[in-house]
């Protein structure tokens, strides 16, 4: 099938690019002696997860138990939820264990950890947990500056039915970094906080084995630190306009794009058939990347953003594009969009078209799409 035979809006994944991105990140992790555990929320695809595992990943991360169910059914045996899982989900977690899945998750409160201890004892099970450390994003995680945290970690590790694997962090504030120097500083601070927290917890009797970090913008700087054991980037498999703005990728590395059709034209305004139900309302934090995605200069090569087109607004089914200067584009013509945030596009799509140049080589379902429970 030719690219232009697809009905739009269509989510495209460049086959060669996605495989190159997988190999490149695996090589980086291997070079620095780190285990790679990709976050599958970016692609939600059992096929892409299989490519990552075949390349050397030790397992995957999932955002929710619903995703874990899907990947477990596809044969993935080692799944981590870097998410504060509540023991009201104990039956689902134990069911995954019954299917042979090694599943671990995070805790950041002692009362929740003790509730998991009680649930595990009742079921005569062991739950594998990591304590989440807040390294600056201020979403989840224990405050490493609190003097009582090391003792709390030790108590969690000593709770019956709980196996403490180590510490985990996510430097999500890296997406707001001003430049590479800022990104490198965030990585170094993250590593220092994990190391100091681990040292203090060990002095209190805790067995800390793993130090796990995860973020695509910071991944290329992780090798400059020492003592970490695992990295969990997710977006790298596709990349997107935000990663290009952060310097983590070039446009020609970005594997996921959206093919759209111009449905009407009025003056300097083009209306496309890809709205918020296809793209994302997320914006790029760094200046110079205005709009709700970048219009690519060439539909086939998809290697540069057209600076004369800006997606100014999105409604549910439409993108409103403002054009600077003259254009011969007309209704019926196709455009290709580089999304600001690829992970959202995966969750909104039923399937993606794997493409090589102008040829559609396969259709790939998004098996874990919408699995938010």
Where do the domains of the chain lie? 3-10+247-365, 17-238
What is the average pLDDT across 267-279? 96
Measure the CA–CA gap between 236 and 249, rounded to whole angstroms: 8
Measure the CA–CA gap between 176 and 340, rounded to whole angstroms: 14
What is the average pLDDT across 217-223? 94
Place 317 in a pLDDT band, splitting at 50, 70 and 90. very high
Residue 221 confidence (pLDDT): 96
Q: Residue 74: exposed, middle, or buried by beta-carbon count in 10 A (0-12, 13-18, 19+)?
A: middle
Q: Give yes or no for residue 11 having a pLDDT over 90.
A: yes
What is the average pLDDT across 25-51? 97
Residue 359 confidence (pLDDT): 96
Q: Give yes or no for residue 61 having a pLDDT over 90.
A: yes
Q: Report which of 33, 27, 371, 14 is spatially closest to residue 230, judged by C-alpha positions.
A: 33
The domain defined by 3-10+247-365 folds into: Lyase, Ornithine Decarboxylase; Chain A, domain 1 (2.40.37)
| Residue range 224-250, pLDDT digits in tens | 899 999 999 999 999 999 999 999 999
The secondary structure element, H or E, covering residue 90 is helix 90-98
Residue 362 structure tokens: 């396969």
Q: Give yes or no for residue 371 having a pLDDT over 80.
A: no
Place 223 in a pLDDT band, splitting at 50, 70 and 90. confident
What is the average pLDDT across 114-143? 97
Please tell me whether residue 110 adopts helix, strand or coil conformation: helix
Please tell me whether residue 161 adopts helix, strand or coil conformation: coil
Query: Does 3-10+247-365 match 17-238 in CATH topology?
Result: no
Sign of the alpha-carbon dihedral angle for 192, 193, 196, 202:
negative
The domain defined by 17-238 folds into: TIM Barrel (3.20.20)
| Residue range 160-179, pLDDT digits in tens | 999 999 999 999 999 999 99
197 CB neighbour count, 10 Å cutoff:
25
**DSSP code at position 143:** -
pTM of the model: 0.96
Strand 10-14 and strand 256-266: pairing?
Answer: antiparallel
Residues 6+ apart with CB under 8 A from 53: 59, 60, 76
Q: Give yes or no for residue 341 having a pLDDT over 70.
A: yes
Q: Report which of 252, 152, 168, 154 is spatially closest to residue 202, judged by C-alpha positions.
A: 154
Q: Give yes or no for residue 370 having a pLDDT over 80.
A: no
Average pLDDT, the chain: 96
Residues 6+ apart with CB under 8 A from 149: 142, 143, 197, 200, 201
Q: Give yes or no for residue 216 having a pLDDT over 80.
A: yes
Q: Give yes or no for residue 324 having a pLDDT over 80.
A: yes
Residue 126 confidence (pLDDT): 98
Residue whose pair of structure tokens reads 């070079």 in the numeric block: 31
Lowest mean pLDDT among 56-60, 261-265, 346-350: 346-350
Residue 372 confidence (pLDDT): 60
Task: Provide, rounded to the nearest whole percent, the portion of the chain with pLDDT above 70.
Answer: 99
Place 285 in a pLDDT band, splitting at 50, 70 and 90. confident
What does the angle CA 267 – CA 302 – CA 36 come to, to the nearest 5 degrees?
A: 135
């Amino acid at each position: 099938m030719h690219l232009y035979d697809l009905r739009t809006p269509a989510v495209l994944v460049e086959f060669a690019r996605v495989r190159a991105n997988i190999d490149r990140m695996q090589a980086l992790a291997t070079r620095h002696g780190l285990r790679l555990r990709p976050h599958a929320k970016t692609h939600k695809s059992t096929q892409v997860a299989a490519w990552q595992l075949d390349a050397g990943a030790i397992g995957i991360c999932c955002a929710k138990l619903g995703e874990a169910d899907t990947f477990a059914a596809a044969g993935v045996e080692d799944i981590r939820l870097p998410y504060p899982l509540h023991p009201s989900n104990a039956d689902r977690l134990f069911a995954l264990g019954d299917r042979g899945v090694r599943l671990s998750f995070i805790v950041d409160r002692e009362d929740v950890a003790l509730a998991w201890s009680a649930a595990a004892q009742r079921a005569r099970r062991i739950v594998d947990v990591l304590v989440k450390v807040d390294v600056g994003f201020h979403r989840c995680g224990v405050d490493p500056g609190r003097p009582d945290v090391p003792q709390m970690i030790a108590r969690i590790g000593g709770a019956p039915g709980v196996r403490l694997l180590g510490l985990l962090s996510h430097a999500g504030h890296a997406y707001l970094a001003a430049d590479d120097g800022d990104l490198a500083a965030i990585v170094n601070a993250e590593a220092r906080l994990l190391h100091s927290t681990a040292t203090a917890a060990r002095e209190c009797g805790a067995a800390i084995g793993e130090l796990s970090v995860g973020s695509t913008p910071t991944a290329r700087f992780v090798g400059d630190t020492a003592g970490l054991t695992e990295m969990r980037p997710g977006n790298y498999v596709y990349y997107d306009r935000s990663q290009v703005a952060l310097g983590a990728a070039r446009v020609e590395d970005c594997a996921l794009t959206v093919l759209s059709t111009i449905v009407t034209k009025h003056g300097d305004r083009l209306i496309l058939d890809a709205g918020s139900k296809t793209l994302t309302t997320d914006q790029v934090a760094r200046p110079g990347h205005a709009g709700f995605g970048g219009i690519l200069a060439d539909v086939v090569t998809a290697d540069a953003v057209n600076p004369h087109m800006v997606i100014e607004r999105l409604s549910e089914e439409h993108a409103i594009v403002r054009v600077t200067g003259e254009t011969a584009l007309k209704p019926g013509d196709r455009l290709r969009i580089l999304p600001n945030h690829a992970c959202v596009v995966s969750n909104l799509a039923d399937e993606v078209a794997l493409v090589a140049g102008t040829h559609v080589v396969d259709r790939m379902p998004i098996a874990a799409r919408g699995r938010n429970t």
